[in-house]
Amino acid sequence: MRVLVTGGAGYIGSHTVLQLLEAGHQVSVVDNFINSSPESLRRVVSIASKKVATFRVDLLDRKALAEAITSIQPDAVIHFAGLKAVGESVAQPLRYYKNNVTGTINLLEAMDEAGCRTIVFSSSATVYGESVDLPLRETTPRSATNPYGRTKLHIEEMLEELAASDSRWRIANLRYFNPVGAHESGLIGEDPQGIPNNLMPFVAQVAVGKRDAVQVFGNDYPTADGTGVRDYIHVLDLAAGHLAALDYLASSGGLHVWNLGTGSGSSVLDVIEAFQRISARLVPYDIVARRPGDVAESYAHAEKARLDLGWKAERGLEQMVEDMWRWQFKNPDGFPKVGHEEMNSLELRDFVLGEVASNK
């Protein structure tokens, strides 16, 4: 199948591109590298020994996007491209609505024009808002507590209305729980810019000595050890969920929603303990105030994906931490930074094969 992956250079995108290549799909990527490096794709290509046609295009550039899609002629699109930092979305709401919502509208219009109407969308467990009705089911009422979450909610609703308006669309809304871990090669992984917002990359940076201590946001929650509990899911399991959703859509029209989680949670202290054990490094931590907007516990009801897609998460916390640590240890500063000059030389239709080479 010809699959276009938007945001394919990013954390979840790069792992998914690799699995698509390994499964024999022909993969193209559209990314503007606002939060990623072409180096991730170079490494994917070197692991898979297959090429990825890479288009340096912003989803907000309708013309360039339409050109890319016309030339790719995808059978299906997996849509990761988006901004994802909650705090930043509160400070810059319009930027988030424009990038995530307008970017998605541009993509859907360009797909429609090119006759491709199959899309797998990166939604998030954030659409369950502050729900305490656990486990969180696909039918749990949705709400949002910040602009980032509201962009996901708006896009889900927009996709529902699109599917209702035209039965040719085949749509999967995948609600991810907390993606962590990295490919077992240690060559690709999450490369947060600046101070990580999320727990696991922060703990990894403390373990490797880049930061002094983890701040544990509250130990007075009604959980076993008082710290927040989340459903961490290995990024490779998550990536596999996308391939399963694509398979499903190949034979079923309409819109479908699936949680992608493990169905059980780990606390902040569980994560710190696992990291200390596996890295054999000390991970100092301080208990501080709760982070506003955090819920005590969040974990998925993961049965629907198992029944419909035959998919379930295979990897546990140990594996997640082991793979995350390997990536962090081998790449303490993330991917090597790409200079402006090299970045500017990346044009539409650059092909990535071992290294980025212009075909002009």
User: What x/- string results for residues 80 through 99 when contact with ligand NAD is judged by CB under 6 A?
Assistant: xxxxx--------------x
Site string for ligand UD1, 175-214 (x = CB under 6 A): ---x------------------xxx--x-----------x
Q: Which is closer to ligand UD1, CB of 86 or CB of 105?
A: 86
Cβ atoms < 10 Å from Cβ of 51: 15
Distance of closest approach, residue 17 Cβ to ligand UD1, in angstroms: 20
Residue 80 lies near ligand UD1 (rule: CB under 6 A): no
Peptide bond into 135 cis (omega under 30): yes
Segment near ligand NAD (CB under 6 A); pick from 45-53, 78-86, 287-295, 327-335: 78-86
148 catalytic residue (yes or no): yes
Checking DSSP bridges between strand 76-79 and strand 355-357, what pairing results, if any?
unpaired
216 binds ligand UD1 (CB under 6 A): yes
The residue from 148, 176, 221, 299 that is catalytic is 148
Residue 181 is a binding residue for ligand NAD (CB under 6 A): no
CA atoms within 13 A on the CB side of 83: 27
Query: Binder to ligand NAD among 19, 28, 36, 267 (CB under 6 A)?
Result: 36
* CA separation for the pair 327, 334 (Å, rounded): 8
By the rule CB under 6 A, 100 interacts with ligand UD1: no
Task: Report the alpha-carbon distance of residue 325 to residue 332 in Å, rounded.
Answer: 10
Binds 10: which of ligand NAD, ligand UD1, none (CB < 5-8 Å by kind): ligand NAD
Q: Which residue is nearest to ligand NAD (CB)?
A: 10
Question: Where do contacts with ligand NAD occur on this chain (CB under 6 A)?
Answer: 7, 9-13, 31-36, 58-60, 80-84, 99, 103, 122, 124, 176, 179
